[in-house]
Amino acid sequence: MNLTKLFTPINIGKMEVKNRLVMPALTTGFAFGEVNDQLKNYLVARARGGVGLIVIGITSVEPGTDYVISVSDDRFIPGLRDLAKSIHSHGAKTAIQLWHPGRYEFAVITGRQPVSSSDVPPPILSRQKPRPLTIPEIEKLEDDFAQGARRVKEAGFDAVEFICSAGYLISQFLSPITNKRKDRYGGDLENRMRFILEIIEKTRDVVGKDFPIMCRISGDELIPGGNTLKEARVIAQKLEKAGVRAFNVTAGWHESSVPMITMDVPRGGYVYLAEGIKEALKGTEARVIASNRINDPVLAEQILRDEKADMISMGRALVADPDLPNKAREGRFDEIVTCVACNQGCMDNLFEGSPITCMVNPLVGREEEIEINPVERSRRVLVVGGGPAGMKAAQIAAMRGHQVTLFEKGDRLGGQLNLASVTPSREELGKIVEYLSVQLKKLGVKVQLDEKVTPSLVAKLKPDVVILATGAEPIIPSIPGVDLPNVFQAWDVLAGRDVAGKNVVVVGGGGVGCYTAHYLMARGKKVTLLEMLDKTAKDVGISNRWIIRNNLQKGGVKTFTSTKVESISEKEVFAIKNGERLTLPADSVVLAVGSKPNKSLAEAIREKFPEIYEIGDCVEPRKALQAIHEGWDVALKI
């Protein structure tokens, strides 16, 4: 598809943006209060990559929440001015998103009681009951937002954005779920909007009528009793009349019990919300930006052609590949590193209090620290294992100019990603294998499938460097009956092995066990899941854990935690839970009790070759993020 719409300039008020791609505000955890070089280098890489507009944030307007960057004082202006200039030098426009957490404040960090429109406590994050803001405090916060916008303009940014979504303070005033006030800031929607409307009025007074104001809004809060698209349309109309010139339309709040950003959400699954807002704003000059799970420039082009939105927001897609816009504009689609919405390095890290990284882009946060430089002397590199670690190591080594040969004992590349990608709603993991396979071919890496590497073969090949990515192998527990013909390993089941009978017991409730149970459930099996620990899916990232648990519950999977299997027969599984013996019908039993490193080749050749590296699960079974990062890092050493 010719991306004519996507790369057509567009105006937001009097600001002209060179294309329709927007990088929305995404917290990184790189900087606290002041802008630092790590944050600047990360954002400049995205500007260099060709995106039209970068929105920076979340950015605090009030002192005390310095676990994000801040505009709460004039002393922050110099650092912000340098950041704006750096972004502008690559042709991108930039805005700052202004924020107050309200009841989502991390009280454990700030040491103070959160505030909100009312005293309704959140079900997530701090969970602490907030204190309702007084009217003088509300008016002071309105001034804080307006003065923050003044600093944004003085620092040389092109626009300001207010976050009216995700469940933060402005959302807490807008929503009937959290706003129980009886004064002029509560009650009907018009009164609940008073806070944001007064913020905009005060902002206009200090920045002037020509400085663009944007808002990020929830097209639907996705909370029972909350604002829906019906109310969001009214909110957008009133905000547009107040002077807002662009709306980035997202879905839900952090506490919504509906997937919004994971693989369970189809690509572009919430575009209908942007379409609804665009329809409500018909006849105005306001721009509508579509958000959530848009990771493909062709899809972005189609959304624009269908007039469902005016611009496209790509957050994690630009984390995964900062050069996506330039690659798409130049037609280099097979070089785009696709965000697969795994959340392993971004959202999961943030929710656990760590800076972001990215499973498919190990450069995130290290943009100026690492370069893929050509080697002075090309060497013969043997990579053993074609999973994500081995493939990434082969790619980077070949990019640097080494002569790379990769051996895989199976009939295709991808390793455990091939198994993970067959489970429901996780098909996009296959995009990683697809991308790396194409790059290996383009780089001239010699790939040999269906051949197990032995010490004698390594000796025959005479490599200068050996990179071992031999992965892991499933653990076989010491349970009577484990060798019966109706007992299978989860890996074999996910690889396509048929499981007989209707009743299937999955032993092991970690990530592999849960996703295997989901896979079997989707194929009509009656599944029982047994886990020794007190909860299932403990090794699954926080942003996906609750979803797989919900999916299993909704699908009728019977789950037993704190349960130990005693023995297996041809038709039953015998287990103990809290001292009570359980007898569970089982036509088939699937084992998912973990894996162990495959170190046999490493042990056999370690003393015979001077330069050997081990990466991925053959070191210790972990996630694809660690495997890919280790493959990248080791290839930079040789």
Could you report the per-residue pLDDT of 556-568, keeping only the tens digit for each?
999 999 999 999 9
Q: What is the mean pLDDT of the chain?
A: 97
β-pairing, 15-17 vs 380-384, is unpaired
Read off the pLDDT of each residue in 473-480 and give the average, rounded to a whole number: 97
Listing DSSP states for 416-467 in one string gives HHHHHTTSTT-GGGHHHHHHHHHHHHHHT-EEE-S----HHHHHHH--SEEE
Read off the pLDDT of each residue in 369-381 and give the average, rounded to a whole number: 94
* pLDDT band per the 50, 70, 90 thresholds, residue 64: confident
Contact 250, 220 (CB under 8 A): no
Asked if pLDDT for residue 108 goes beyond 80, the answer is: no
Asked if pLDDT for residue 312 goes beyond 70, the answer is: yes
* pLDDT band per the 50, 70, 90 thresholds, residue 1: confident
Asked if pLDDT for residue 15 goes beyond 70, the answer is: yes
* DSSP-based three-state secondary structure for 109: helix
Per-residue pLDDT, 607 = 85
Domains and CATH numbers, the chain: 10-351 (3.20.20.70), 380-474+596-637 (3.40.50.720), 487-593 (3.50.50.60)
Q: Return the higher-pLDDT residue of 528 and 606.
A: 528
Asked if pLDDT for residue 110 goes beyond 90, the answer is: no
Across-strand partners of 34?
Answer: none
* DSSP-based three-state secondary structure for 346: coil
Read off the pLDDT of each residue in 466-490 and give the average, rounded to a whole number: 97
% the chain with pLDDT above 70: 100
Read off the pLDDT of each residue in 349-371 and give the average, rounded to a whole number: 94
Per-residue pLDDT, 126 = 67
Per-residue pLDDT, 65 = 83
% the chain with pLDDT above 90: 95
Asked if pLDDT for residue 609 goes beyond 90, the answer is: no
Read off the pLDDT of each residue in 86-107 and give the average, rounded to a whole number: 96
Could you report the per-residue pLDDT of 228-260, keeping only the tens digit for each?
999 999 999 999 999 999 999 999 999 999 999
Cα–Cα distance, 222 to 251 (Å, whole number): 7
Per-residue pLDDT, 111 = 84
Measured CA distances, 485 to 160, 427, 499 (Å) = 65, 30, 11
Asked if pLDDT for residue 586 goes beyond 90, the answer is: yes
* DSSP-based three-state secondary structure for 614: strand
Per-residue pLDDT, 76 = 98
* pLDDT band per the 50, 70, 90 thresholds, residue 608: confident
Other beta carbons within 10 Å of 275: 20
